[in-house]
Amino acid sequence: MTSSPVRRSAGCLAALALSVLALGACDTGGGASGASVSPSRTASPTASGGPGSGTDGPGGLASSAAAAASSMAASPTPSVSRAPLGTVPPTWLGKRPLPETSDGFGVRKPTPPELRVRRFTLPDTVAMLPGTGFASAVVTPAPARVIARSTWRPGCPVKATDLSWIRLTFRGFDGARHTGELLVNRTVVDDMVSAFHDLWDQRFPIEEMRVTRRDELDAPPTGDGNNTSAFVCRPTVGSSTFSQHAYGLAVDVNEFQNPYTKGDLLLPELAGSYLDRSWVRPGMLTPAAIGAFAKVGWEWGGNWHSLQDRHHFSRDNR
């Protein structure tokens, strides 16, 4: 059995008290300064000198070595602070394209350990709204600069001038106040502000809330997205008809914790762990969160029968 770095250092220092020749027996590469350190620990205690601890003071070398050995043996080994698994975004998030099926979706794969209890918050993309509680700011029609970075284009089923830009506050998984943005149809602004105000009061956590970009529509699938968004000019999944998102009349909330399923199709493709709805984890839509949208007359896609769109809410139940 090998000795720990601290004990080996103490042994070497004690040997110094017996003979200066013992220096040759000390393995400096295996002491505290040369030992390998485990990932969660550091081992670098040092002896502190005090009155009478020098080799030319009272007690000489033996006193100094004994004091140093005692100090090192008694010094606690500090722990390295580590964030719980799932609270810090992995470096590969959004960067590992999945093999694609003939339908253009990613191949379904098991949920990585880092995402099984997903509770991190991505940086805000808009400036913080003033205040300390819930706040919202609406601009109608949405500014041209916001439309330009969205998925809107000529041919979308809603005019750009009929879209409103909403900035509102939400709770992150870090418990802090954040500000996000939504593009919605101008006719449902009050509904959206009311529903997300309710989620704020419930302390319901959201990972990120931002306007979906055009380049995301053609990006290869990575199966790990979790954006909360409303307007997206795209067809319904597996169809050529426009989704209610293309009208600004639908919103998706924490899509990873609340995945879409139809037959063998799972979206996002790495979110399979969250099909176990009996294991309630932060960010999953609870009855209270679903009720926030029911209060304003919006339906939940998780109640559908031919498919379950667990992150989807819409005014017309489509």
Mean pLDDT across the chain, nearest whole number?
82
Residue % of the chain over a pLDDT of 70: 74
pLDDT of residue 76: 52
**CA nearest neighbour of 70 among 10, 15, 16, 160:** 10
Separation of alpha carbons 260 and 256, rounded Å:
9
Separation of alpha carbons 316 and 302, rounded Å:
14
- Please determine, for residue 48, whether its predicted confidence score (pLDDT) is greater than 50: no
Q: What number of residues does the chain have?
A: 318
Residue 295 vs residues 164, 292, 310: alpha-carbon distances, Å: 21, 6, 18
Q: Over the stretch 259-304, which tens digit does the pLDDT of each residue have? A: 999 999 999 999 999 999 999 999 999 999 999 999 999 999 999 9
**CA nearest neighbour of 204 among 280, 288, 129:** 288
Separation of alpha carbons 300 and 311, rounded Å:
8
**CA nearest neighbour of 161 among 179, 133, 132, 139:** 139
pLDDT of residue 11: 43
Spatial CB neighbours of 296, under 8 Å, sequence gap ≥ 6:
190, 191, 194, 195
Query: Residues 31, 8: contact at Cβ < 8 Å?
Result: yes
Query: Residues 93, 26: contact at Cβ < 8 Å?
Result: no
- Please determine, for residue 19, whether its predicted confidence score (pLDDT) is greater than 60: no
CB atoms within 10 A of CB 219: 11
Enter the pTM of the model.
0.74
Q: Over the stretch 67-116, which tens digit does the pLDDT of each residue have? A: 444 444 444 544 455 788 899 999 999 999 999 999 899 999 999 999 99
Paired sense of beta strands 227-228 and 208-209, if any: parallel
